[in-house]
């Protein structure tokens, strides 16, 4: 029997189930005003007078090209026109999402921008939503089969036009002398998009120039939540950070630059990712990986390339540097305020404790306290606690944070107030009086 007609019919059915690719088709330079009667569901720029924020969309195809460069041009013009200090958040969604106005990530990102304005009343709050084809099939029983196809595309999306766009945004928002803030967040495969785009930038700014000056990252902070990519892809930055600390030692004025936050309860990146990756990696060659790292948590410097290549970065034990927990419920009206200088305070407290025990005063193993054993340095109602696991230098700015399920209960995160509070605590001058860092 000729199978060609059957295959052809199957392909036609799949194409009929494919969702729309490109949503923000009404391209203007003036934001559409969100009201009860105006949803602005096709607008590239939207603004909420009630919640006092602006939001721009850019959408990228599977080859990493923008569907319409007009989206980019309008957003760049908007950023340049702002006269008040800005708080800009770039967000890249993950699997099963897109820039549809009905998408949960779009709706929740709008709510997040409202909360950002409440926390930062003196800033003009602007969001940038980077949309790509995270969803390719509408049928529930077929959607699960698209992960590895979308994973490959997530790497492609970050290779082409996105990097140029991100660097243009950074040059505007973080212009020399400005007090603007730039936060970049990617979730799941969206974290893969961001990391693939910024990997070389982060590595270059870590490695150059070769001196003891403060290291710079991208913007103020990059956060990758439950990232769906291999630990092997992070190994170069990990190695460079270990080498820099041996040669120069990270300054006690060094801000965190990159946070990889993964929930211990995320079975998708912990189990499903590892199982699927092992199936695809079994035909590849792997050997022992000679690492530069030497620390108290690991007595040798040999890592397994197989484990690095088949384990999601947030679940690779040798790379996990911190543990984040919450000791109470956030409640319906979660209050989150920042305490300037909490990182220095935590390190100083640990050094005093080490001195009292006759131990080397490295500061490694610091914690923020949880309201029980020590006074909490985080001013939030759920008594969050961040612990350094002695698996990196005290002020190493590249954090791989394991969270418990009270912080991130599963693979999703965008509506989790705990994690957003932790991000706020970190970006709002974790270390005070840090001078601006010149970027290459």
What DSSP assignment string belongs to 306-359?
A: HHHHHSBGGG-GGG--EEEE-SS---SS--EE--TTHHHHHHHHHHHHHHHTT-
Q: Which two tokens stand for residue 306?
A: 């197989």
Torsion region of 82: left, alpha or beta (phi above 0 gives left; psi -120 to 50 gives alpha):
beta
Rounded Cα distance, 232 and 224, in Å = 16
Q: Give pTM, 2 decimals.
A: 0.90
Q: CB neighbours of 233 closer than 8 A, spacing ≥ 6? A: 195, 196, 199, 313
Residue 260 CA to residue 323 CA, distance in Å, equals 11
What pLDDT, on a 0 to 100 scale, did the predictor assign at position 430? 59
Q: Rg (Cα) of the chain, in Å, rounded?
A: 22
Residue whose token pair is 């958040």 = 89
| DSSP structural state of residue 304 | E
Q: Which of 248, 251, 263, 384 has its CA nearest to residue 314?
A: 263
Q: Is 96 helix (H, G, I), strand (E, B) or coil?
A: coil
Q: Give, for all 440 residues of the chain, the pLDDT tens digit.
A: 444 454 444 344 444 445 567 899 999 999 999 987 888 999 999 999 999 999 999 999 988 899 999 999 999 999 999 989 999 999 999 877 899 999 999 999 999 999 999 989 999 999 999 998 856 556 555 555 556 666 777 788 888 899 999 999 999 999 988 999 999 999 999 999 999 999 999 999 999 999 999 999 999 999 999 999 999 999 999 999 999 999 999 999 999 999 999 999 999 999 988 887 877 777 777 777 666 554 444 445 678 898 999 999 999 999 999 999 988 777 766 778 767 889 999 999 999 999 999 999 999 999 998 755 678 888 777 788 999 999 999 999 999 999 999 999 999 888 888 899 899 989 876 555 454 555 55
Cα four-point dihedral sign 136, 141, 147, 148 = negative
Domain spans, the chain: 32-187, 205-222+240-435
CB atoms within 10 A of CB 398: 25
Place of tokens 């967000």: 91
Which stretches of 63-200 are assigned E, i.e. beta strand?
Answer: 86-92, 124-131, 181-187
Q: With beta carbons less than 8 A apart as the criterion, state whether 227 and 313 touch.
A: yes
pLDDT given for residue 266 in this prediction: 94
Backbone φ and ψ for 409, nearest 5 degrees, come out as -75, -20
274 and 310 Cβ atoms separated by less than 8 Å? yes
* 355 CB-contact burial (10 Å; exposed 0-12 / middle 13-18 / buried 19+): exposed
pLDDT at res. 377: 87
* CB contact at 8 A, 349 and 366: yes
């Amino acid at each position: 029997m000729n199978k060609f007609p059957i295959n052809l019919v199957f392909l036609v059915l799949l194409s009929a189930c494919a969702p729309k690719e490109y949503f923000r088709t009404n391209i203007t330079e003036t934001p559409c005003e969100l009201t009860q009667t105006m949803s602005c569901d096709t607008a590239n720029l939207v603004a909420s007078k009630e919640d006092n924020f602006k939001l721009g969309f850019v959408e990228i195809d599977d080859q990493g090209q923008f569907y319409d460069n007009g989206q980019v041009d309008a957003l760049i013009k908007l950023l340049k026109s702002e006269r008040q200090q800005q708080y800009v958040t770039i967000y890249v969604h993950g699997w099963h999402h897109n820039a549809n106005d009905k998408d949960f990530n779009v709706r929740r990102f709008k709510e997040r921008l409202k909360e950002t304005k409440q926390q930062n009343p003196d800033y003009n709050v602007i969001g940038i939503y980077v949309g790509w084809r995270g969803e390719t099939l509408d049928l529930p029983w077929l959607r699960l089969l698209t992960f590895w196809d979308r994973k490959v595309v997530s790497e492609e999306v970050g290779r082409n036009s996105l990097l140029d766009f991100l660097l243009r945004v950074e040059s505007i928002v973080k212009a020399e002398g400005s007090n603007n803030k730039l936060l970049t967040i990617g979730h799941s495969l969206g974290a893969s998009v961001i990391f693939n785009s910024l990997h070389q930038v982060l590595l270059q700014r870590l490695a150059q120039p070769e001196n003891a000056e403060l290291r710079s990252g991208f913007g103020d902070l990059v956060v990758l939540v439950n990232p769906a990519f291999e630990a092997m892809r992070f190994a170069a930055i990990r190695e460079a950070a270990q080498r820099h600390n041996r040669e120069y030692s990270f300054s006690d004025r060094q801000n965190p630059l990159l946070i990889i936050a993964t929930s211990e309860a995320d079975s998708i990146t912990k189990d499903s990712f590892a199982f699927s990756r092992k199936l695809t990696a079994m035909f590849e060659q792997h050997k022992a990986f000679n690492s530069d790292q030497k620390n108290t948590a690991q007595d040798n410097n040999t890592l397994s390339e197989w484990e690095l290549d088949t384990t999601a970065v947030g679940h690779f034990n040798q790379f996990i540097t911190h543990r984040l927990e919450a000791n109470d419920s956030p409640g319906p009206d979660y209050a989150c305020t920042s305490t300037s200088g909490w990182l220095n305070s935590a390190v100083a407290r640990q050094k005093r404790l080490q001195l009292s025990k006759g131990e080397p005063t490295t500061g490694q193993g610091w914690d923020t306290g949880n309201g029980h054993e020590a006074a909490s340095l985080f001013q939030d109602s759920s008594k969050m606690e961040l612990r350094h696991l002695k698996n990196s230098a005290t002020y190493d700015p590249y954090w791989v944070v394991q969270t418990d399920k009270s912080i991130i209960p599963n693979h999703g995160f965008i509506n989790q107030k705990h994690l957003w509070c932790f991000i706020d605590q970190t970006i709002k001058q974790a270390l005070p009086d840090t001078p601006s860092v010149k970027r290459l």
